[in-house]
Structure 1
Amino acid sequence: MVTKQDVLEKYDIEALTESDNVDLDDDKLEDGSKGELIKLAGQLRDRRNDLNQIASERASKRDDLNAKTREKVDEAQEHREKRDELNEQVQEHKEKRNELNADANELFDEVEEMKEDLELDDGKDAEELREEIEDLEFRQQTEVLSAEDERELIEKIEEKREQLAEREEKVDQSDELEEKIEKAEEVRSEASQHHQKVTELADKAQEHHNEMIEAYREADEIRDEADEMHELFVEAQEAADRHHEDFVRVQKRLRELDKEEEEERKDEREQKMEEEKEEAEEIYQKFKEGETLDTEDLMKLQKTGLL
């Protein structure tokens, strides 16, 4: 079973370090100074970018593993198709072998019937008779025999020769038998050739079957790694998304502070204008009463439009 740790170690990938993450709590967001929030926004942005880069690298590795998984599945499928093709050939040769063996068996049965008809299976065969005749003739030529023994020996030789002549005559009359034997042996030989093909093709089919099983096993292992890599990608992406969301919250808070400052400055400007207007009206009243105004007073009157 492949684990995330296995994948981290195998592909030399660093695990996410929790201490490198940037935390944002509501108190810091609401009560932090503008300077503190600007610094925090930069930290969140940098950590988000780092995490997005990590997520991208993990996604790329995951995609590579998924591609390798598909390659292994395709490889397994090729072995499956080749195995099935060979098994079809095995079946064809089996059928042909069985058909030929059946034909050969039928021919050999016919041979046995013909032998029985010719009584070739009765008694000794020609070769055996020839050997016995040779032995008897050798004995006649080499041993010193009485007239009676030699006469008996000659009779045995003649009897064997008659049996041999009879046997050879029957064989001479069995050309059809020999042809049938030859045909039966040819058919049996052809059946053996098909049996040999069955064995060869079955071995090749088994090799492709084994290769298919191995390819599927490797595909499953790589797929498990891809799944774990996807989990690692999700982990990094979710952390990046969280930092981005916090970054956006800080940016929003900074805009609120900017707006508050702008409103404060506006209030200050309006208050200052009001104060300047009141002061100018006092100066203008003095002017109407005939008091002499200095340059600064005149400028204040001009600024407020009273002069």
Structure 2
Amino acid sequence: MVTQQDVLTEYDVQELKDSDNIELTDEKLENGSKGQLIKIAGQLRDRRNELNQMASERASKRDDLNAKTREKVDEAQEHREKRDELNEKVQEHKESRNELNAKANELFDEVEEMKEDLELDDGKNIEELEEEIEQLEFRQQTEVLSTEDERELIEKIEDKREELSQKKDKVEDSGELEELIEEAEEVRSEASQHHQKVTELADEAQEHHNQMIEAYREADDIRDEADAMHELFVEAQEAADRHHEDFVRVQKRLRELDKQEEQEREDEREEEREAAKEEAEEIYQKFKEGETLDTEDLMKLQKTGLL
């Protein structure tokens, strides 16, 4: 079983360390100063970008492994198709072989029937008779025999020669038999050729079968690595997404702080305007009562629109 650590080591993939991640607590988010939050936002952004890059690299390696898996599956499929094609040819040659063997058997049966009709199988065959005659003649030439024994030997040689002559005459008169034997042997030879093709093609088909099994095995191994790499990709992408979400939260909090500061400044300005208005009204009242106003008082009245 391929583990994530195996893949990290084999493909020189940077390990994701939790210690490098940026932790954002609710306490930091709600109570951190604007300066602290700006700093945290920068850290979250940088770490998010690192993790996105890490996820991208892992996704690229995963896609490469998936591509290699598909290549191996395609290779296995090619061997499967070649094996099946060869097995079809094996079957064709088997059928031809069996048909030819059946035909050869029929022809040899006809040969045996013809031999029986010609009585060629009665007694000894031509080769055995020739060998016996040769042995008897050698005995006649080399042994010292009585007149009676020699006459018997000569008669025996003559009988064997007569039997041999008869058999040869039958064979010579049976040209059809020789043709039938030749045809039967040719058919058997053709059947043997088909049997040889059966053996050769079956061996080749088995080799493609073995290569198919090996390719599928390699595809499974690479697929396991791709799956482990995908898990590593998901790990990095989820970590990147968490950092992005925290970055967005900090940005939102900073906007809230900006609005609060703006509101506070607006409140201060409103208070100043109210105070200036009250002061201007007091000055205007003094003016109506006939008091003399200095330049600064006149400017305050102008600013508030009372003069």
TM-score (norm 1): 0.95
* Matching residue of 1:284: 284
Alignment map for 1:10-89 (pairs within 5 Å) = 10-89=10-89
Q: Secondary structure at the match of 1:82?
A: helix
C-alpha contact (below 8 Å) 2:93/2:197 kept by paired residues: yes
1:142-291 superposed matches below 5 A: 142-291=142-291
- Kindly state the Cα deviation for residue 37 of structure 1 after the two structures are TM-superposed: 0.7
**1:14 Cα offset (Å):** 2.1
Is this contact kept in 1: 2:14–2:54, CA < 8 A? no
How far apart in 1 are the matches of 2:60 and 2:134?
A: 93
Give me the whole-angstrom Cα distance separating, in 2, the residues matched to 1:119 and 1:268: 140
1:185-239 deviation line (CA, Å, top 9, x unaligned):
1010000000001001101111111111111111111111111111111111111
Q: 2:251 corresponds to which letter in structure 1? A: Q
Which amino acid is 1:275 matched to? A
| Cα displacement (A) at 1:108 | 1.0
* Aligned counterpart, 1:112: 112
Aligned to 2:133: 133
Q: Which moved more, 1:28-37 or 1:221-230?
A: 221-230
Give the superposition deviation at 1:179.
Answer: 1.0
**Aligned counterparts of 2:233 and 2:263: Cα–Cα separation in 1:** 44
- Where 2:306 maps in the other structure, the secondary structure is coil
Secondary structure of 2:165's aligned partner: helix
Report the Cα distance in structure 2 between the residues aligned to 1:168 and 1:77, rounded to whole angstroms: 64
- Partners of 1:44 and 1:143 in 2: how far apart? 123
Please give the alpha-carbon distance, in whole angstroms, between the structure 1 residues aligned to 2:166 and 2:181.
21
Q: Does 1:96 align with 2:81?
A: no
Distance 1:183 1:144 in 2: 50
Residues 47-94 of structure 1: per-residue CA shift (max 9 Å, x gap): 111111111111111111111111111111111111111111111110
Amino acid at match of 1:233: F
- 1 CA distance for matches of 2:154 and 2:32? 139
Secondary structure in 1 matching 2:223: helix
* Pairwise CA distance, 1:156: 2.1
Distance (Å, rounded) in 2 between the aligned partners of 1:263 and 1:150: 153
Instruction: Percent identity, please.
Output: 84
Distance apart, 1:296 and its partner CA: 2.4
> Residue 196 of structure 2: SS of its match in structure 1?
helix
Deviates more, 1:180-189 or 1:107-116: 107-116
Residue 121 of structure 2: SS of its match in structure 1?
coil
RMSD: 1.6
Question: What is the CA–CA distance in structure 2 between the aligned matches of 1:256 and 1:74, rounded to whole Å?
Answer: 58
| Worse overlay, 289-298 or 29-38 | 289-298
Moved more, 90-99 or 284-293: 284-293
Give deviations 1:270-295, integer Å, cap 9, x for gaps.
10111112222222333334433333
In the TM superposition, residue 142 of structure 1 has moved relative to its aligned partner by: 4.2
Q: Which residue of 1 aligns with 2:5?
A: 5
- Matched residue of 1:292: which SS? coil
* Distance (Å, rounded) in 1 between the aligned partners of 2:292 and 2:166: 176
- Which range moves more in the overlay, 113-122 or 230-239? 113-122
**SS in structure 1 at match of 2:13:** coil
> Aligned equivalents of 1:226 and 1:140: distance in 2?
94
1:145, distance to aligned residue in structure 2 (A): 4.1
Q: Distance in 2 between matches of 1:78 and 1:90?
A: 18
- Distance in 2, matches of 1:278 and 1:130, equals 158
Match of 1:60, SS?
Answer: helix
